[in-house]
């Protein structure tokens, strides 16, 4: 190999290396641009739309007040007990709970406000415990809304519930709340 050929090889290596390093980011940028163009022309595509909520409880847990209100608007009673199952809140047991208490447990302040403005009358004994439960969990925004707008909340100081592996179940103990099999 002559000196000229060796020099060409040495100068070509950085160009090849730079080309290899730049290929990934260029392809990623092209993919992002393609997705944004697709979003501009088909914004309702399932690729870009939020996931559909199947139940009022699911919408509340996701703090999606628009989806939750769609259930209420279509005829679901905002005071009707909903079946929930959660490892953290109910020890992975099915429990019937008011939508308001589920909104408090799920730290969904927008859903709390939606339920109150959508006509929830809060007829269940467990609903009287909602503000105290929100305060016990440190969900201050939900507690403020409940103290201001929810009727018949338990006065302060709030009772202390037994600590355990399922806080929602502990708070509901003693109310009319049945278990679902």
What is the percentage of the chain residues whose pLDDT exceeds 90? 35
Structurally, how many domains does the chain consist of?
A: 2
Q: Is 125 left (phi over 0), alpha (psi -120 to 50) or beta?
A: alpha
Over the chain, what is the mean pLDDT? 82
Q: Which residues pair with 84 in a beta bridge?
A: 95
Q: How much is the average pLDDT of 10-27?
A: 78
* Element (DSSP H or E) covering residue 75: none
42 with 64, same domain: the answer is no
Predicted pLDDT at 164: 58
Higher pLDDT pick, 175 / 98: 98
On whether residue 157 sits in a domain, the answer given is yes
Are 120 and 93 found together in one domain? yes
DSSP secondary structure letter of residue 135: H
Q: Are residues 162 and 98 in the same domain?
A: yes
Same-domain status, 39 and 77 = no
Q: Residue 85 and residue 61: Cα distance in Å, rounded?
A: 11
Asked if the model's pLDDT at residue 20 lies above 70, the reply is: yes
Number of neighbouring beta carbons within 10 Å of residue 42: 11
Least confident interval from 11-20, 26-35, 153-162: 153-162
- Domain of 63 in residue numbering reads as 56-172
* pLDDT score for 90: 86
Helix (H, G, I), strand (E, B) or coil at 96: strand
**Which of 14, 34, 49 is where one domain is finished?**
49
pLDDT of 114 reads 94
The residues pairing with 97 across neighbouring beta strands, listed in sequence order, are 82
Cα–Cα dist 143/162, whole Å: 20
Looking at the fold, whether 70 and 127 belong to one and the same domain comes out as yes
Question: Tens of pLDDT along 46-92?
Answer: 677 667 789 999 999 998 999 999 999 999 999 999 999 998 888 88
**b/e per residue 3-28 (b: at least 16 CB within 10 A):** eeeeeeeeeeeeeeeeeeeeeeeeee
The answer on 74 and 6 residing in a single domain is no
Q: What is the mean pLDDT of residues 90-111?
A: 92
**Domain annotation covers residue 178:** no
- In this structure, what CATH number is given to the domain that contains residue 82? 1.25.40
The pLDDT-based confidence of 175 (bands split at 50, 70, 90) is very low
Domain contains 60: yes
CA gap 64, 69 in Å, rounded: 9
63 located within any domain: yes
Do 85 and 61 sit in the same domain of this protein?
yes
**pTM score, whole prediction:** 0.68
The lowest-confidence range among 32-36, 113-117, 145-149, 168-172 is 168-172
Residue 142 belongs to a domain: yes
pLDDT tops 50 at residue 125: yes
pLDDT at 18 over 70: yes
């Amino acid at each position: 190999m002559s000196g000229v050929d060796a020099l060409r090889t040495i100068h070509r290596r950085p160009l090849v290396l730079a080309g290899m390093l730049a290929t990934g980011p260029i392809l990623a940028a092209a993919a992002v641009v393609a997705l944004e163009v697709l979003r501009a022309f088909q914004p309702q595509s399932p690729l870009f739309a939020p996931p559909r909520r199947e139940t009022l409880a699911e919408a509340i847990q996701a703090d999606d007040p628009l989806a939750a209100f769609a259930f209420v608007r279509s005829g679901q009673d905002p005071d009707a007990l909903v079946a929930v199952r959660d490892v953290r809140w109910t020890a992975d047991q099915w429990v019937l709970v008011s939508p308001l208490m589920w909104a408090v447990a799920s730290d969904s302040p927008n859903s709390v406000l939606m339920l109150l403005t959508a006509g929830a009358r809060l007829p269940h004994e467990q609903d009287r415990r909602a503000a105290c439960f929100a305060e016990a969990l440190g969900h201050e925004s939900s507690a403020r809304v409940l103290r201001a707008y929810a009727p018949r909340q338990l006065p302060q100081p709030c009772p202390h519930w037994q600590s355990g592996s399922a806080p929602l179940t502990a708070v509901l103990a003693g109310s009319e709340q049945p278990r679902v099999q």
